Amino acid sequence: MKILNRLFCLMMWVPAHQAAMAAQPFPLAGTWALVAADRLLPDGARLHDYGEAPSGLMMIDSEGRYTVQIYQQGRPRFASGDKKSGTEQEFRAAVEGSSTHFGRMAIDEPSRTLTFIIESAAFSNWEGTRQERRYELKGDELSYRVPARPDGQIPLSVWRRVN
């Protein structure tokens, strides 16, 4: 009888535990404002990647769905006023001066790893990919390193929680 009681308790505990875990919001849920969008060079130097004062916003919901936007300030406006008839320089500045993507995020707190499961991105090569990023969380400041670029430079994003 003791075995049946223990088995019954275990069978009741597992669904209750799973429900409690599912009810907890994603640890990084909230709205985050961009503090820095830099790049680390192979020699250890740190430079701005999106200008002196980039702007950006990252929003993460309670289930880990996210959206990220990073923009370089001072990008030239399209002289024609129509994004479909921009010049080569205007298109280049628009693409190189922004980074946007959305999807789902997973977190592994013990290894300090974020995984971005990217559904759609301005840089289409990222669509459908999973990207792991080492992160640090200090109070309301979150920073993570993007995978190294082909030239060895490592983008670094720093965010501050605003709610």
Contact 113, 137 (CB under 8 A): no
pLDDT value of position 20: 47
For the segment 20-75, what is each residue's pLDDT rounded down to a tens digit?
445 689 999 999 999 999 999 999 999 999 999 999 999 999 999 999 999 999 99
Contacts of the segment 63-68: beta carbons below 8 A, 24+ positions apart: 63/26, 64/26, 64/29, 64/104, 64/105, 64/106, 64/107, 65/102, 65/103, 65/104, 65/105, 66/102, 66/103, 66/104, 66/105, 66/116, 67/100, 67/101, 67/102, 68/99, 68/100, 68/101, 68/102
Percentage above 70 pLDDT, the chain: 86
Quote the tokens at residue 57: 């916003």
> Which DSSP helix (H) or strand (E) runs through 87?
none
Band of pLDDT at residue 147, cut at 50, 70 and 90: confident
> Which DSSP helix (H) or strand (E) runs through 38?
strand 30-40
Is pLDDT above 90 for 13?
no
Is pLDDT above 60 for 8?
no
Q: Please state the rounded mean pLDDT for residues 119-136.
A: 96
Comparison of pLDDT for 10 and 160, the residue scoring more = 160
Is pLDDT above 70 for 7?
no
The predicted model scores a pTM of: 0.82
Q: What is the mean pLDDT of the chain?
A: 90
Contact 109, 134 (CB under 8 A): no
Q: Please state the rounded mean pLDDT for residues 82-96.
A: 94
